[in-house]
Amino acid sequence: LEDPVVDSDLGALGNAIDSAQGNAIDEADIPPTIAPKPKVAHSAEKKKKPVPKEKQEDAAQKVLLPPSELEETPGEMGKPVKLPKDMPDDMKKAVEDGWTKNAFNQYASDLISVHRTLPDPRDAWCKDTARYLTDLPKTDVIICFHNEAWSVLLRTVHSVLDRSPEHLIGKVILVDDYSDMPHLKKQLEDYFTAYPKVQIVRGAKREGLIRARILGAQYAKSPVLTYLDSHCECTEGWLEPLLDRIARNSTTVVCPVIDVINDDTLEYHYRDSTGVNVGGFDWNLQFSWHAVPEREKKRHNSSAEPVYSPTMAGGLFSIDRDFFERLGTYDSGFDIWGGENLELSFKTWMCGGTLEIVPCSHVGHIFRKRSPYKWRSGVNVLRKNSVRLAEVWMDDYAQYYYHRIGNDKGDWGDVSDRKKLREDLQCKSFRWYLDNIYPELFIPGDAVAHGEIANPHSNMCLDAQTKGDSEMAMSLYECHGQGGNQYWMLSKAGEIRRDDSCLDYAGKDVTLYACHGSKGNQFWTYRENTKQLHHGTSGKCLAISEAKDKLLMEECNSSLARQQWMLENYDGS
Ligand code: LR7
Ligand code: MN
């Protein structure tokens, strides 16, 4: 089975960041706005006869495989759809188009029933219905979309309707964030007239997913809100364990386990509850997954019990409607994508709530490798969102994020309302959150040095991307003073690290490797007087090549300028 950790690291998050962090500054940003009053395209009260199933799926299945190649029921039980190797040209083109428009294999998805069956990913522990209160609150399910594929959106909605107890779903609110794909207009409205619980709400302009979610919440009436991305599949029994936690305590915010739906084959992957991850973040304010910490495991008898999570991934969660409002829902100054998951996570914990991942609840999500839709050009939206987040919630710790982005904060608008919200709610400090909720996070201020590592004679800096757990080559680049790929920390334990990646030397090249915490090949000492970086197991020193283009390890010699390094913010005391 695939590892969600790897999937998410390589997935849309990383790519969205690539597209968001360009330095374009031409187009002025639109100031934060409250979501406009929407036009309601379809009201939940209208009742009509259900459309026969064959007809519903017509629209999805435009291009069919030659019958001999097609399994009778592609994708059933979450099985992968395998397209033939030799496809006729028109089919090949249709497959490519699907990828271009959606960044997943839309063609394969269109072959699968919008009511497809899935395996039951729950542990046996979860199936004892006596674990859940009988009197659970109703939820409205809010699904925001911008140019989502037809079959994927329908499958999301049907998985909710087909696999939730009827009496627990108030409405399914589809929020169209100004899509222009034709199938999301009248065709969508016509389709859902047969489903009285489904309501379509349309924004008057492109708002981004954060303001779209706020808009959806304005139409909700049930005591609980449940948010889903528009390319999800809920599995059997997903809802009750979520609602149960909120019924017991309305300040508990809950997330299902997010299973991976393969972007190419649409295969449904899952693991048992011993493989559950919790959410964290790094000082670039990127979300990350981590194994359940030992201190948390000790609180439980079974790995299927809900676990505390410092942060949520963002797209899939349930929250008490009143509690969400009390927390000020989302910051409406956040644009398009990103950061809102950390905002909600921080304030949940800091303002008296609890955030949990519920291993008995599984929902699949298509993880993409790039973001298929347009971000607003000219503005680094992710940075703007993150600066707003840092300004309001992170106290003095905001400086580590700013340092990481070269202190280039851009224009983040006005956050005085959000600061007032925090005051009024008398929320705890970010320090409290780090100490009590996320003690695993490495704090740059606790490092011996943090910032760039430069060879002063050449003005070259250690430079590398860090992505997930895979081994990466370490390289050199002219010092640019912008943090990013030149931001490093020398930990007290002798690691040269960024987030969870460490400088590693195993006798060949200097690489970046997942930090293992047991010194060895990842153990470095800085000699302040000679400015050398000594490597533990080899006893060699880090140097730059004669041509100043490569890193190498060589016999230590304190008279060689190429072995000298300046560490930013060094404090060896
Ligand atoms: O402008 C937009 N308007 C929208 O309505 C952009 C997006 N959207 C919709 C979109 O159609 C989708 O339904 O918003 C939803 C999220 O967008 P994705 O699917 O492109 O984002 P993602 O899955 O890569 O992003 C994750 O991080 C986001 C940060 O803002 C949101 O919190 C997403 O909900 C979140 N997804 C998940 O948590 C699923 C698990 C991913 C992980 C880890
Ligand atoms: Mn998504």
Complex confidence, ipTM: 0.98
Query: Quick one: which atom of ligand 1 is closest to the CA of 175?
Result: 5
> What is the number of other CB atoms lying within 10 angstroms of the CB of residue 102?
22
Beta carbon of 358 within 6 Å of any ligand 1 atom: no
Residue length, the chain? Answer: 573
Beta carbon of 337 within 6 Å of any ligand 1 atom: yes
Whether residue 200 contacts residue 42, with contact meaning beta carbons closer than 8 Å, is answered with yes
Ligand 2 centroid – CA 390 distance (Å): 24
Bridging pattern class, strands 488-490 and 496-498: antiparallel
Q: Which helix (H) or strand (E) holds 95?
A: helix 89-102
Which residues, in sequence order, are CB contacts of 107 under 8 Å at separation 6+?
63, 83, 91, 94, 95, 98
Ligand 2 centroid – CA 366 distance (Å): 6
Can you give the pLDDT at residue 473? 85
69 to each of 58, 96, 112, 249, how far by Cα in Å? Answer: 20, 19, 14, 52
Phi and psi at residue 521, in whole multiples of 5°? -70, -10
Which numeric CATH code is attached to 444-567?
A: 2.80.10.50
CA separation for the pair 9, 27 (Å, rounded): 30
Closest Cα to atom 8, ligand 1: which residue?
209
3-state SS, residue 418: helix
Query: Quick one: which atom of ligand 1 is closest to the CA of 16?
Result: 24
CA separation for the pair 529, 527 (Å, rounded): 6
CA separation for the pair 16, 204 (Å, rounded): 24
Domain definitions of the chain by residue range:
1-120+133-441, 444-567
Can you give the pLDDT at residue 375? 87
Beta carbon of 146 within 6 Å of any ligand 1 atom: yes
Closest Cα to atom 9, ligand 1: which residue?
145
Query: Quick one: which atom of ligand 1 is closest to the CA of 12?
Result: 24
Beta carbon of 212 within 6 Å of any ligand 1 atom: yes
* pLDDT tens profile 42-63: 333 333 344 444 444 444 445 5
Phi and psi at residue 27, in whole multiples of 5°? -90, 130
Closest Cα to atom 28, ligand 1: which residue?
338
Beta carbon of 29 within 6 Å of any ligand 1 atom: no
21 to each of 14, 289, 408, 531, how far by Cα in Å? Answer: 11, 22, 12, 33
Strands of the sheet containing 510-514, edge to edge, are 449-451, 488-490, 496-498, 501-505, 510-514, 472-473
Q: Which of 3, 9, 15, 209 to mutate to test ligand 1, by most ligand atoms within 8 A of the CB atom?
A: 209
Homologous superfamily assigned to 1-120+133-441? Spore Coat Polysaccharide Biosynthesis Protein SpsA; Chain A (3.90.550.10)
Residues of the chain with pLDDT under 70: 1-71, 377, 468-469
Query: Quick one: which atom of ligand 1 is closest to the CA of 338?
Result: 30
